[in-house]
Structure 1
Amino acid sequence: MTQTPSHFDLLIRNGTVIDGTKAPRFDADVGITDGRIAAIGDLSQCTAVQTLDATGRIVAPGFIDSHTHDDQAVLSQAAMPFKISQGVTTVIAGNCGISAAPLRADMDLPMPLSLIDSPPEGRFTTFAAYLDALRATPSSVNVAAMVGHSTLRAVTMSDLDRPANDQEIAAMQALVEEAMQAGAIGMSTGTFYPPAVKATTEEIIEVGRPLSARKALYVTHMRDEADKVMDALEETFRIGRELDIPVVVSHHKVQNTSNFGRSKTTLPFIRETMKHQCVSLDCYPYTAGSTMIRTDRGMLEGRVLIADSQPHPECAGRDLDDIAKEWGVAKDEAARRLQPGSAIYFLMDENDVQRILAFDETMIGSDGIPVGESPHPRLWGTFPRVLGHYSRDVGLFPLETAVWKMSGLTARNFGLHGRGTLKVGHHADIVVFDAATVRDAANYRTPTLPAEGIDCVIVNGAVSWRHGTHSGARNGQVIVRRDGVPPRTH
C-alpha cells in the first residue's frame, strides 16, 4: 500500500473535484509535487509550500483545446492569455492542413497558410526544429502538434492547382516521416481550402502512409461541410480505413440554410461508423465560423464580419454588407478587395450546433485564429461558454460531461497519456472555477474579453493564471506521440 505524502509543493484545499472521466463530483484536496498529482483525498493534515483554498469551487483537469491554429502564437505570444485565461492548459496545433513546419524562407505562402506564418527568417525547415524551438522557449500551455498536408504541398509543389505527381507525393511522404520521427501526433488536411482542393483522395492516402505503422492520427477539415457533407464524411472514413489509423473530423458542422437540420443525418452516420473504425469529432459552441476571406457565394450567404484585412485594416470589426455598400460594389467584389485577411461567417443553425455539442463523443475545440484585433470570440470564450451557457444555462449536459468533453475525452482521442484526468501520477494540469458564475465575456462586438469565473489555472504544477492575472509562468511542455500506441481501441 502506497503511503500518502505529508508535504507537497502545492496543495489545493476544500474543492469539489470533477476528474474528467464523467464520474460524479466529490469533495477532496489535491496535492501536487514535482509537476504531478501526488495525492487526492483528505489532506487536511498535510503541509505545502503553497496552498490554494478552493472552497465552493470546482477543481477539474485543465482543458485541452482539440482544434487550434496556435502554431506560431505559442512562440510569438508565448504567454497565451487567450487560452490560459479560459482554463486551457494544452493545445492541439497543426490543424486544417496548416502547420508551422516544414517551411522555406524563400517561399510565398498562399492563404490560409499565411494566417499563422512567421517572418521568413523565423521559419522552420524541419518539424524537429519547430518542436526544438518550443522546448527552448516554452509557452504557458502544453503543445501537441501535427504536420499539415497543405503546408507539405506548398513546400514541394510549384503548382498547387492540380493533383500531386508521384515524385511530389514521395517528397511529401518523406516530410511526413521526418515529422513522425520528430514527434508529430499525426497529419491534418484542409481539402476545403484552395491549396489542397485539387488533392485527390489517393494523394492523401499515399502521403499519409508513414502514419500507419505508428497509428498516428488523421485529422481533417473536410472537403465539404455543406451540400456534399455526406460525401466528405465517406472520403474521410475511407482514408482512415485505407491507412488503418484513427480519424478526427474537425469542427463538425452543416452550413448554409439549405442544410440546416442535416446533423440529424450526419451524426447517426458517424455513430454507426464508430462501431467499425476509430472515429472522433470536435466542434465549437457558436453558429458562426471563421476563416480566410473568401469570395465564393456559399460562404457569403449569411452575415460576414471582417476580422482582419491586410490591405484594409480599418475594416476590421465591420460587416461586409456595409463595406460593400460604402464602396458601391457587390459583396463578392468587396471581399476580393479585402483579401488577404480573415472573416467571421454566420452560416450555421443553433439547433444543429446544440445537437452536435450534445452528441456523446464530441470534443470541444475553439478553432480560434490568434491574429488581429477583432478575432472570432471563440478564441477567448469557447470553454467557459460550454460550461456556463450550454451546460449550466441551457442544460444541454451535466457539468461532469462538459468537463469530460474538454479534457478526458480529448486526451483519450489524441493519445495524450498522463493528461486529461485528475489522477495520482498524472501531470498537474488543473483549472479551478466557479460553476455558478463561469461564463464567456467575449462576444462579436468585444471579442477579446477574458472569461469570468476562472479562478486559477495550473500547468505542470505551476500556477499560471490566478484571479484574472497571468503569473508569468511559462511551464508548458511539448507532447509527442508514443510510437505504436493508438489513442484508443474499439
Structure 2
Amino acid sequence: MAKFDTVIRGGKIVDGTGRPAFIGDVAISGGVIAAIGPSVDGEGAQTIDASGKIVAAGVIDTHTHYDAQLHWDPYVTNSGWHGTTTIAVGNCGFGLAPCRPEHRDRYMQQMETTEQVPYKSLKAALEWDWITYPEWLEHLKRTPLGVNVLNMVPLNPLLIYVMGLEAAKSRPATDEERELMKAELHKAMDMGAIGFGFSYQGNNNTHIDCDGQPMPTDIMHLEDLYALADVLRERGEGVVQALVDSPGARFSEVGLEVARRSGRPVIHNVTLVNDYIPTYHEEMLEMLDRAEAEGLEVYSMTLTMRGWNEFKPMDWDIWNIMPVFREFTFAGDQAAKVAKAKDPDFRRRLREAYDPVHLAAAGGPLETYKLNKAYGVEPWARFEGRTVHEIAKALGRDSVTDLFMDIVADTDAASDFLLPDALSSDTAKVAEVLRHPRTIPGTSDGGAHVKFWSGGHFSTDMIMWMVRESGQMSLEEMHYKLSGLPAKVFNLTNRGTLVKGSAADILIYDFDKLGYKRLEYEIANDLPGGEWRRVCKPEGIEFVMVNGEVTFRDGTNCTGAVPGRMIGVSGPDIDRRLSVPFVLAAE
C-alpha cells in the first residue's frame, strides 16, 4: 500500500474547479496532492478525519497590502486564519521596493497615509537590506512565509526610484527614464515578479501621500504607464492590477487601454454595490462585458463582503476622498485635530462642501456613523448606539457636519464610531455581481487600515452569506470564485484547485459552524513598535494547510510551520537563481 505524508479522509471535497462536490479522500506527499477520489488506498503518516466537513482549495487573496506584515506575521492574519493560502502584494502601486536609501523613511510614511500601516511598526520591523526589486525578492526568500506570495511591482516606488520623488509627482518621464523603468520591470520579472500594480485616481481618492498630495501614479503621464504595459506584451506573461474606477474617480478606460497594450489579464478595481449610487455596479459589469466583446482579458475585484469599520476620529482618514477633510487628517497631533474641529472657518467650508454621496464610497456618509462610545462625555453619552443622523434629528440640528465636529471636539477626538454596513447588504445585487464570470470576490485590503478595518474574513462571509444563508450561489460556484478563478487569472496551473499534482493548499471547515463575530472587532496589541490593530477571528475552520503542512488548527491555533513559497512567472532558470523552491506559473 502507498505511503503518504497526510491523508484527509471522508470530507466533502469542493475542488475549486466548479465541478460537483463529492465525498472522498485526499492524499498528500511532498506538499503536492498525490491522489484524490472517492476512496484513496494507502496510509499516511498523518490522518485527518474530515467526516462531515468541507475540504476545499485554499483561498487566493488577490488584493492585499501584506508587503510589510509578512515581516512580523508570516501567516498574514486575519487572512491566514480564514483559509487564505496565497496572497498577492504590490497592489494599488504601493510597496517597499525598489527603494533608494534616502527614500526609505518617505516610503514608510506613504504606507501609513495611503494604507494606514502604522509608521512605528514599519520603523521597528523593516531591516531595509534591499534597494532594487530583485534584491527585495532575495530578501523575501530569507523571510519565513506561512502563505504563498505573488509579487507585483508597485509603480509608485518604481517611478520614484527612476525619476526621483519630486519629478515623479510633477512631470512625465523622459525617454531615457522611460526606458530605465522598462528595464527595471524586466529585471524584476526575470527574478519572479508577476507583473505590476498601480492606482490611477487623480486627486479624488483616499490614497494620499504624507504631504497631502496625490501619489505619483494617480497623476502619472499615461504614456509612461502604457510603456510598462508594453513590457508584458513583449514578454508574453504577467498580470496587471489597476485601481482605476471608484464612484468618485471613473477611469476604467485607462485599465482597458492597459489590457489592449499589454495583451495580458488586467485585474480592475473596483466593483461594489453602493446604495447611494445604485447603478454603479451595473456600469462595472457592462464594462466587463464590453471588454470581453473586444477580446480583452479584464476581470474586476469586488468589494462585496459584509464589512464594517470601527474607529476613532484620530485614526480614521478614509474621508480624505473629500479634500476639505484632509485638513483635519493632516492637522497634526490630537490637540491640533481638536482645534481644527472647533475652527469656525473649517467648519463652514466643510458644511458647504459636504455631500453624502462623496463619502458613499469611503465607508459611508457621516449620517450613518454610529456613536459607539462617548466615554461619559455629555450630552453625547446618552446617544451611544445611535447614528449621527438620529442624534441630529433628536437635537433638532440641521448640519450633520457641525454636530459630528462637536462630538469630536467635546470628546477630544477619542470617541468611538461604528460604520455597521460600510458596504451594501443588498443580497440580490451582490449575488448578481459575484455570479458574473469576470468578477473575483475579495479586495480584503489585508494588512491595511488596521486601526479601523479587517477584511481578511471576506471568504468566510461569502460562504456564509451567499451560500448558506441566502442560497444565491452553490458551494462549487463560490469556491471556484475563491480559488480556481484567481488561479486562472494569475496563470497558476498547479494551485487553486484540488486535483492530482496540484499544491496541497487546503481549507477544512464545518459548513454549519462557519462564522465570525459580526460588527465587533477584537483589539490585538501585537504589532511592532507597540502598535495595535483590530482583528476578526474565524469560527468553524478546523485546518488550514499550505503546501501540505498544517499552519492552523481549530481557528487561530498556529502550528509554527512556515511552508509558504514565492510564486512567479519567469524564465526556466528561476530555480537556479533562487535558493528556495519557486513555483512557476506556466503558460
TM-score category, normalised to shorter length: 0.7 to 0.9
Matched residues in 1 for 2:561 and 2:5: separation?
A: 15
Maintained 8 Å contact 2:63/2:87: yes
Aligned partner of 1:244 in structure 2 is 263
Deviations 1:193-240 (A, max 9, x none): 411222132221023332222221121111x411553xx222211121
Aligned partner of 2:305 in structure 1 is 286
Aligned partner of 2:155 in structure 1 is 149
Alignment of 1:30-429 (within 5 A): 30-43=26-39, 45-107=41-103, 108-109=106-107, 110=110, 111-112=113-114, 115=117, 118-119=122-123, 121-122=127-128, 124-155=130-161, 156-159=163-166, 160-166=168-174, 167-192=176-201, 193=207, 194-195=214-215, 196-214=217-235, 215-222=237-244, 224-226=245-247, 229=250, 232-253=251-272, 257=276, 259-275=277-293, 276-286=295-305, 293-297=318-322, 298-299=358-359, 302-303=365-366, 324-328=405-409, 348-351=423-426, 352-370=429-447, 374-379=451-456, 381-429=457-505
Would the alpha carbon gap of residues 80 and 369 (structure 1) be closer, same or farther in structure 2, given more than 3 Å must change?
Answer: closer
**Cα distance, 1:152 vs. partner?**
1.5
Would the alpha carbon gap of residues 93 and 302 (structure 1) be closer, same or farther in structure 2, given more than 3 Å must change?
Answer: same
Alignment of 1:445-484 (within 5 A): 445-446=521-522, 447-468=534-555, 469-482=557-570
**Cα distance, 1:254 vs. partner?**
6.1
Matched residues in 2 for 1:236 and 1:393: separation?
A: 35
**Cα distance, 1:8 vs. partner?**
0.6
Would the alpha carbon gap of residues 83 and 445 (structure 1) be closer, same or farther in structure 2, given more than 3 Å must change?
Answer: closer
Maintained 8 Å contact 2:272/2:304: no
Maintained 8 Å contact 2:189/2:570: no
Matched residues in 2 for 1:209 and 1:292: separation?
A: 35
Q: What is the DSSP-based 3-state SS (H/G/I as helix, E as strand, rest coil) of the residue aligned with 2:198?
A: strand
Deviations 1:280-302 (A, max 9, x none): 12223336688954534324661
Would the alpha carbon gap of residues 287 and 59 (structure 1) be closer, same or farther in structure 2, given more than 3 Å must change?
Answer: closer
**Cα distance, 1:44 vs. partner?**
5.8
Q: What is the DSSP-based 3-state SS (H/G/I as helix, E as strand, rest coil) of the residue aligned with 1:265?
A: helix
Correspondence 1:25 to 2:50: no
Across the two proteins, how many residue pairs are aligned to each other? 458
Matched residues in 2 for 1:165 and 1:346: separation?
A: 42
Maintained 8 Å contact 2:305/2:462: no
Deviations 1:385-434 (A, max 9, x none): 01112221122211111111011111000112200001111111111111
Would the alpha carbon gap of residues 368 and 239 (structure 1) be closer, same or farther in structure 2, given more than 3 Å must change?
Answer: closer
Matched residues in 1 for 2:298 and 2:443: separation?
A: 19
Give the alignment's TM-score, normalised by structure 2. Answer: 0.71
**Cα distance, 1:174 vs. partner?**
2.6
Matched residues in 2 for 1:471 and 1:188: separation?
A: 33
**Cα distance, 1:256 vs. partner?**
7.8
Matched residues in 2 for 1:410 and 1:479: separation?
A: 14
Maintained 8 Å contact 1:100/1:123: no
Correspondence 1:432 to 2:453: no
Would the alpha carbon gap of residues 354 and 174 (structure 1) be closer, same or farther in structure 2, given more than 3 Å must change?
Answer: same
Q: Which moved more, 1:439-448 or 1:268-277?
A: 439-448
Maintained 8 Å contact 1:86/1:384: yes
One-letter amino acid of the structure 2 residue matched with residue 170 of structure 1: E
Would the alpha carbon gap of residues 289 and 283 (structure 1) be closer, same or farther in structure 2, given more than 3 Å must change?
Answer: farther
Deviations 1:318-359 (A, max 9, x none): x99787324449xxxx9xx99xxxx98966543454432232
Would the alpha carbon gap of residues 450 and 228 (structure 1) be closer, same or farther in structure 2, given more than 3 Å must change?
Answer: closer
Would the alpha carbon gap of residues 305 and 132 (structure 1) be closer, same or farther in structure 2, given more than 3 Å must change?
Answer: farther
Q: Which moved more, 1:360-369 or 1:345-354?
A: 345-354
Q: Which runs of 5+ in 2 are unaligned?
A: 202-206, 208-213, 310-315, 323-357, 371-386, 389-400, 523-533, 573-583
Q: What is the DSSP-based 3-state SS (H/G/I as helix, E as strand, rest coil) of the residue aligned with 2:136?
A: helix
Maintained 8 Å contact 2:272/2:280: no
Matched residues in 1 for 2:180 and 2:421: separation?
A: 39
Matched residues in 2 for 1:353 and 1:157: separation?
A: 42
One-letter amino acid of the structure 2 residue matched with residue 271 of structure 1: D
Maintained 8 Å contact 1:285/1:385: no
Q: What is the DSSP-based 3-state SS (H/G/I as helix, E as strand, rest coil) of the residue aligned with 2:447?
A: coil
Matched residues in 1 for 2:118 and 2:190: separation?
A: 23
Aligned partner of 2:336 in structure 1 is none
Matched residues in 2 for 1:255 and 1:157: separation?
A: 38
Would the alpha carbon gap of residues 38 and 488 (structure 1) be closer, same or farther in structure 2, given more than 3 Å must change?
Answer: closer
Aligned partner of 2:328 in structure 1 is none
- The structure with the largest alpha-carbon Rg is 2
Maintained 8 Å contact 2:66/2:448: no
* RMSD (Å), alpha carbons: 3.2
One-letter amino acid of the structure 1 residue matched with residue 258 of structure 2: I
Matched residues in 2 for 1:285 and 1:444: separation?
A: 18
Q: What is the DSSP-based 3-state SS (H/G/I as helix, E as strand, rest coil) of the residue aligned with 1:130?
A: helix
Aligned partner of 1:315 in structure 2 is none
Would the alpha carbon gap of residues 189 and 53 (structure 1) be closer, same or farther in structure 2, given more than 3 Å must change?
Answer: same
Would the alpha carbon gap of residues 163 and 354 (structure 1) be closer, same or farther in structure 2, given more than 3 Å must change?
Answer: farther
Q: Which moved more, 1:165-174 or 1:409-418?
A: 165-174
Matched residues in 2 for 1:434 and 1:366: separation?
A: 24
Q: What is the DSSP-based 3-state SS (H/G/I as helix, E as strand, rest coil) of the residue aligned with 1:409?
A: helix
Q: Which moved more, 1:123-132 or 1:394-403?
A: 123-132
One-letter amino acid of the structure 1 residue matched with residue 165 of structure 2: S
Share of identical aligned residues, percent? 25
Would the alpha carbon gap of residues 270 and 261 (structure 1) be closer, same or farther in structure 2, given more than 3 Å must change?
Answer: same
Matched residues in 1 for 2:249 and 2:407: separation?
A: 35
Q: What is the DSSP-based 3-state SS (H/G/I as helix, E as strand, rest coil) of the residue aligned with 1:250?
A: strand
One-letter amino acid of the structure 2 residue matched with residue 302 of structure 1: P
Q: What is the DSSP-based 3-state SS (H/G/I as helix, E as strand, rest coil) of the residue aligned with 1:77?
A: coil
Maintained 8 Å contact 2:153/2:195: yes
Matched residues in 2 for 1:188 and 1:116: separation?
A: 22
